[in-house]
Amino acid sequence: MVTFFSYFKYYLSKDRVLFTRIKQITGITPLNLSCYKQSLRHHSIASKIHNSGSKNSNERLEFLGDAVLNSVIAEYLFKKYPYKDEGFLTELRSKIVSRVSLNDLALKIGLSELVEYDRKSMQNINVRNSIFGNALEAFIGAIFLDKGFKKSKYFIIEKLLRLHIDVDKLQQTEKNFKGRLIEYTQKSGMNLDFKVDELTHGKQKIFKVSVIVNKKVFGEAEHTNKKQAEQQASEKALELLKNTPKDFFTHQENIENRDEEVLVDEAIEETLTETINESNDNLINENLEDGLFEETESEDLLAETEVNLEINSESIHLNKVLDDQTEEVKTNN
């Protein structure tokens, strides 16, 4: 009887649309719309309601909903997998209640369309990655306050798990991309490094992680959580490495070796030039001091020295070209 009157009370009020949408999403007739309204109100538009600074946002309901969600999922998995250990159950529950998973669920059931928030807040990467998932947890908290644990459990299992999550498929999904990347590079004999930079956006700290394989960047990601950034960057790197030709690193190593040879040749040429210049300067000065020839003759000697240097440089360059051509012939054969 209470449900019947509640239906007509809200159906004839300005909250008719919200009432109908909640009933469609949950399969439950809500009694107290105020807690649902609060569950859909992000703190970016919430009002201060206490001297302590507390706001009428969905953050407290999120805390409650998180506890209800985890307990229901824990019981569900405990019964579904009677012979699995706690490590397996914990990891699988983490995948189901992860921020990415909850955000996705909120979008699938249409809850994201009801969330109220300041559009400017979406520029914050942390908000963008969590706003709808947090609202879903708060929404579950609202169901718990309005209808009790039994109805909350019904919503989580029947409207979320069974309709939108393939638990058997999910438990086969490997999420530890960093571990897989480390294993992949070790087996392939590659050098792996993670470069972490701390960026600041306003008051927010962002971690930028770069995955470097054999001195080349293969994946980058930014996140407010360092571990999440590492996982996302590792996932990108794994995907790219698997699509990279096997001889890529061999060619790259050859190019680097050739660059090093060029630098060595340039250093030798520079040292040779400096040595010849210094020797000729000393010889000219000694001869001038001994009066063996005039200053004009020394200028002729300098000119001759410069010609010799050019010949030496051309000789070094020619030898380098011949070496490269020989190496290329060997490679082709």
Q: Would you list the domain boundaries of the chain?
A: 2-170, 177-242, 248-332
Of 91-100, 141-150, 173-182, give the lowest mean pLDDT range. Answer: 173-182
Question: HSE on the CB side for 60, CA within 13 Å?
Answer: 9
Query: Residue 177 contacts by C-beta under 8 Å, 6 or more apart in sequence?
Result: 231, 232, 234, 235, 238
Query: How far is 162 from 125, CA to CA, in rounded Å?
Result: 30
Q: Where residue 114 falls among pLDDT bands split at 50, 70, 90?
A: very high
85's CB contacts (< 8 A; 6+ apart) are none
Active site residues: 66, 137
Which pLDDT belongs to residue 323?
61
- C-beta atoms surrounding 47 within 10 Å: 8
pLDDT tens-digit series, residues 221-250: 888 888 888 888 888 888 888 777 766 666
Q: Quote the pLDDT of residue 156.
A: 97
Task: Give Cα separations from 93 to 88, 129, 170, 171 (angstroms).
Answer: 9, 19, 10, 9
The model's confidence at residue 94, banded by pLDDT at 50, 70 and 90, is: confident
Paired tokens of 61: 């309901």
What CA–CA distance (Å, rounded) separates 227 from 233? 10
CA-to-CA separations, 136 to 18, 29, 321, in angstroms, rounded: 15, 17, 67
Is the distance from CB of 135 to CB of 109 less than 8 angstroms? no
Predicted pLDDT at 280: 57
Residue 105 has pLDDT above 90, yes or no: yes
Q: Does domain 177-242 have CATH number 3.30.470.10?
A: no
- At the top level of CATH, the class of 2-170 is mainly alpha
Neighbouring CB atoms inside 10 A of 104's CB total 17
Q: Report yes or no: 102 and 136 within 8 Å, Cβ to Cβ.
A: yes
Count CB-CB contacts under 10 A for residue 224: 17
Q: Assign 256 a pLDDT band (cuts: 50, 70, 90).
A: low
Q: Whose structure tokens read 């703190």? A: 43
Q: 281: phi > 0 → left, psi -120 to 50 → alpha, else beta; which? A: alpha
Instruction: Note the pLDDT of residue 257.
Output: 54
Least confident of 162-176, 218-232, 276-290, 292-306: 292-306
Tens digits of per-residue pLDDT, 45-59? Answer: 877 766 666 778 899
Please say if the pLDDT value at position 193 is more than 80: yes
SS3 sequence, 70-116? HHHHHHHHHHHCCCCCHHHHHHHHHHHCCHHHHHHHHHHCCHHHCCE
The tokens for 220 are 């980058």
> What residue type is assigned to position 77 of the chain?
L
Q: Would the pLDDT of 296 be above 50?
A: no
pLDDT at 73 over 50: yes
